[in-house]
Structure formats: structure tokens, C-alpha cells
A and B are shown apart, each in its own frame.
Chain A
Amino acid sequence: MEEDEFFGEEMFQHYCAEFIKHSQKIGDGWEWRTSKEALEPPLDDFEVTETTTATEVIKYEYHVLYSCSYQVPVLYFRASFLDGSPLALKDIWEGVHECYKTRLLHGPWDTITQQEHPILGQPFFVLHPCKTNEFMTPVLKNFQKINRNVNYITSWLSMVGPAVGLNLPLSYARAAFQDEGNVDRQDSSVEPKNLEEL
């Protein structure tokens, strides 16, 4: 599999298929839907996770779509309370993990926007894809160097997901990259330093 500079639709489908394989193994609920299937009332939606904040249960729903214009995957998501009422953007912000807040707050209206799901036609929140290439490239280039393949979707989702409440189980990391023999032995004789507060 060649590591192109762009991420084509076929690659997207391929990596999603691999991703789904693992998802089925661990039963965490991801499904692949073609646009035709997506229009039918879903029995099981895509990944649905439930989080409790204070006394409220919030249901999150995540969809991974392919953006033809940016040629990258895009994360669509929405959240609702159990009574079905949707969360507003400001509620979503409260759910953003601390470590991302500073970065995202620099331009919230650029980074999380509300858009119509291209297939379902319903409003979703979207993590803007314009920088995806930028942060994925070093990871992919690194892999090219060591001549290995990485599942783009797994890698990408592990990076963007946590910002909006989606945490992939660690087993995906192993599934995406089977080989474990990549440990650098150069430093094994160096005494480790204590990790300390600056």
C-alpha cells in the first residue's frame, strides 16, 4: 500500500473496513453504513457512548465520514440527553477534555462547527478537517521511514476522538500495528531520569 500524499476514498474504505473488523471483535459498536442503509431508521446507530455528567446521562453518537474536498476523514458527532433533547454547542464545550480546551478555544468557531450530516440531513457537530493533513503527515511519514503500514483511521480517530469524548480502547493500537519488534535498543544502558515537575 503506497503512502500517498493524499488520502483517497478507497484508502478510507479500506481502513474503515479494518477498523470495523477490530470493532466487531471487541464489540464496541461501530458499523459501516452505505448512504442507502444510513437513510433507513437505524436500529443501532454508529458508535453510541453514554457519559454521565452530574446527574445527567448524555448519549453521544459519532460518525466518521470521508470529505472529498479535503480528502481526509471527518468526525461528525452529536449528543443528546436521554429525553432526546440535543446538547447545544456550549454544552459540548463543557465536555471537551481539559487538555484540548486551550487549543480549541483559540478558534472554537473554526474547530467545532455545526453542519448538516450529508447523508442523514440532520444537524451534527463537526471537527473541522482543514488541519487533519497537517497533523497526520508526521505520523504517516514516520511510518514510511520504517516501512510499515498504519491504519490511518485508527490513528486519526485516536487523536481527534478524545477531544470530543470518544476514547478508543487500547486494543485498537495493537490491531492497527501488529509488529512489536520496533524497540530501539540504543538507550537501554542509559540511566533513566526522574520525571519531575518543571
Chain B
Amino acid sequence: MAEEQESALQLSPSIAAESEGPTEVSPETATPEPPSSAAVSPGTEEPAGDTKKKIDILLKAVGDTPIMKTKKWAVERTRTIQGLIDFIKKFLKLVASEQLFIYVNQSFAPSPDQEVGTLYECFGSDGKLVLHYCKSQAWG
């Protein structure tokens, strides 16, 4: 499955830092750079670290939404909910007309511009932020 090849790609930090609108994506998966070990966060070093650039997110599917094979991700704090939604939609190969919601506390959808770092501060525990996601046809 294509999902297993994701580790070959590199995330450009500048894109993650301002994911206000749709993030730029390259449709190819062929970037052959090896994953940088510095980018992977063990998630247990500094419990309250402001200096820690990435936070651990555990993604859980709700309802009939496909389950992601990889559920645990290290994500830059400045990544927005919208950026995460875009990522999951591509990962799950959802079509543009399908809506994906992300929830904290399994029930509350943060606004798209909310940064995951903030959510981690508010709702994270045990060194990670648990986010539920659900696909739906919200309108029309």
C-alpha cells in the first residue's frame, strides 16, 4: 500500500509553519531521501518543552472512516488543523468533496487555523495528543 512509502518523503519546515491555506503538495512519492532521525520525536524527552519542535499525535478513526495504518505521528507544533486534515485526506485518498473532521476530546472540532501545538498544551496527556478523525458529507 502506498502508505508505507511515506517515510521516504521529507517535510519542508517552511510549509508546515504557515499552513494557512491549502498546503503545497507534490503528487509524486519518489523523493529518495532517507528519513532524518532528528525529525523523529521519541515523545518522552521534555514533558513541557517549548523547545521541542514536534509533538506526538495519535490519530484515531471514528465511525466508518478508514483507519490509518500509521497512527502515531510526530508533527510540528505550528502545523494547523487544516494542514493535518489535508494530510489525512491525502493519506486516506479521500476525494475533495468529502469532509474530514478532526476532534479533540472525541467531540470538539477545533477551528482549522488552530495549531496542534496549542492543542497539545491544552489536551495532551502522556506525552501525546489524541485526535479523532471522521469523514463525512457535512453539507449538500
Contacts and interface: CB of A to CB of B under 8 A. Distances in A.
Nearest to A165: B111
A162 B101 contact: no
A110 B134 CA distance: 22
Contact of A110 (B7, B58, B71, B140): B140
A191 B71 CA distance: 10
Secondary structure at chain A's binding surface: helix, strand, loop or mixed? helix
B91 A190 contact: no
A190 B73 CA distance: 10
Contacts of A194: 7, 11, 35-36, 39-40, 73-74
Contacts of A127: 139
Interface string B80-98: 0010111100110000111
A131 interface: yes
A173 interface: yes
Size category of the A interface is 35 or more
Contact of A138 (B27, B127, B134): B134
A193 B43 CA distance: 11
Contacts of B26: 197-198
A185 B125 CA distance: 10
A138 B111 CA distance: 19
A20 interface: no
Given A102-B96, A111-B140, A188 B11 contact: no
B113 to A, nearest CB: 8
A98 B22 contact: yes
Contacts of A103: 96-99, 138-140
Nearest to B15: A197
A146 B62 CA distance: 12
A183 interface: yes
Given A98-B22, A176-B105, A198-B91, A131 B137 contact: yes
Nearest to A128: B139
Nearest to A132: B138
B9 A196 contact: yes
A166 to B, nearest CB: 9
Contact of A107 (B107, B114, B130, B139): B139
Contacts of A151: 107
A143 interface: yes
Interface of A: 97-100, 102-104, 106-107, 110-111, 127-128, 131, 134-135, 137-139, 141-143, 146, 150-151, 154-155, 158-163, 167-168, 170, 172-174, 176-177, 180, 182-185, 187-188, 190-198
11 contacts: A99-B86, A131-B136, A138-B64, A150-B107, A154-B107, A162-B111, A176-B107, A176-B108, A177-B107, A192-B57, A194-B7
What are the 4 closest A-B residue pairs judged by CB atoms, nearest first?
A138-B63, A107-B140, A173-B108, A167-B111
